[in-house]
Amino acid sequence: MTKLFIARPAPTEVQEALEGYDVTYREASTPLTEPEMLAALQDYDGVLPTLGDRFSAAVFSGVDAPRCKILANFGVGYNHIDVDAARQAGVQVSNTPGAVTDATADIAMTLMLMTARRAGEGERLVRLGNWTGWEPSQLLGMHLTGKTVGIVGMGRIGQAVARRCHFGFEMDVKYFSRSAKSLPFKAEHVSDLKALAGAVDVLVVAVPGGDDTHHLINAAILAAMQPHGLLVNIARGNIVEEAALIEALQNKAIGGAGLDVYEFEPEVPESLRALDNAVLLPHLGTSSREVRVDMWMMAVENLKAGVEGKEPPNLV
């Protein structure tokens, strides 16, 4: 019988969809250890891993002839899997795009609003019992309506953020991507990232993770931003050079940052946690039950196709 390995606790919908297969459901929510990854490749026909399960080239080299036919990743990002090494080992890799788009774009807007309107500071003020009442000059933030947003990466998620900004907040949209896009709203393609950073009030990071985008937002890009400019990252943590961002925030070189991801997550430096001009969320991008179930089911369909010798719907 076809053997499957599910690397995280799965909802009942997944278990129902995989009836008839020999499935091992891992109960831990922590990333797979190297021995677990080696066993997954050796002992199972298909594996459903997720963020944190680092299937590196070294892991693949530790298995001579993998039984595993597919790593059906739970999540749109797959930079934790060495896709080239997987292909060389005869293992397909898939992901779950589409299902995450709107939820992640909503988190981008949450971070934009919280950072611009200093909502995190305001909540802490109330929770600590330090609020003394309404004042006309208290916690004055930035009004988003009519401002200019810069989107770094105009894929599905970038476009969803841009739509919300354009239609919901009447913001001018500029974006950085490999090529200009045909979009159903006005948006300016900017081919120079530093120029984009200097021309916008909010810079939103929405590019895929990977070697090509590692530290794409570095000290030079942060220095190009306007003093009131806000940085929002809903993509992958290592796209932003964390040390440079902390320095920029400490020196008030930029207006603030809204982060859902971190370079070394789940580790978040105390120096970042101590900053009032940073809004910090615990990787909530797709954290709604409806979206997570959709992601699970998309991953399951990829998994089934892979073990049956078919091309998965979302092959990467």
| Model pLDDT for residues 124-172, shown as the tens digit of each residue | 999 999 999 999 999 999 999 999 999 999 999 999 999 999 999 999 9
Instruction: Give pLDDT, residue 101.
Output: 93
Fold assignment, 3-99+289-307: Rossmann fold (3.40.50)
Q: What is the mean pLDDT of residues 3-32?
A: 96
Tokens of 42: 């050796």
Alpha carbon 171 to its chain centroid, in Å, reads 23
How far apart CA 94 and CA 74 sit, in angstroms, is 9
Q: What is the pLDDT of residue 202?
A: 98
pTM of the prediction? 0.86
| Phi, psi torsion values for 238, nearest 5 degrees | -80, 5
DSSP H helical ranges for the chain = 12-17, 34-43, 57-61, 83-88, 101-116, 119-127, 156-163, 169, 193-199, 219-224, 242-250, 270-273, 289-307
Q: Which of 26, 156, 283, 292 is catalytic?
A: 283
Q: Could you give the 3-state DSSP secondary structure of residue 74?
A: strand
The answer to whether residue 267 is catalytic is no
List, for residues 79-114, the tens digit of each pLDDT value: 899 999 999 999 999 999 888 899 999 999 999 999
Catalytic, out of 236, 241, 242, 263: 236
DSSP structure string for 175-190: EE-SS----SS--EE-
Share of the chain above pLDDT 90, in %: 94
Other C-beta atoms closer than 10 Å to the C-beta of 3 total 16
Residue 215 region by backbone torsions, left for phi larger than 0, else alpha for psi between -120 and 50, else beta: left
What does the block give as tokens for 161?
A: 């953020």
CB atoms within 10 A of CB 44: 23
**CATH topology match: 3-99+289-307 vs 101-280:** yes
Question: In this predicted structure, what is the pLDDT of residue 119?
Answer: 97
pLDDT at 179: 92
Q: How many CB atoms lie within 10 A of CB 124?
A: 12
Rounded to an integer, the average pLDDT of 234-260 is 97
Yes or no: say if 234 and 220 are a contact pair by the CB < 8 Å rule.
no
- Please tell me the CATH superfamily of domain 101-280, with its number: NAD(P)-binding Rossmann-like Domain (3.40.50.720)
Which member of 215, 265, 292, 301 is catalytic? 265
**Residue 166 annotated to the active site:** no
Domain boundaries, given as residue ranges, for the chain? 3-99+289-307, 101-280
- Is 265 labeled as catalytic in the residue annotation? yes
pLDDT higher than 90, residue 282 = yes
Burial profile 159-172: b = 16 or more Cβ within 10 angstroms, e = fewer: bbbbbbbbeebebb
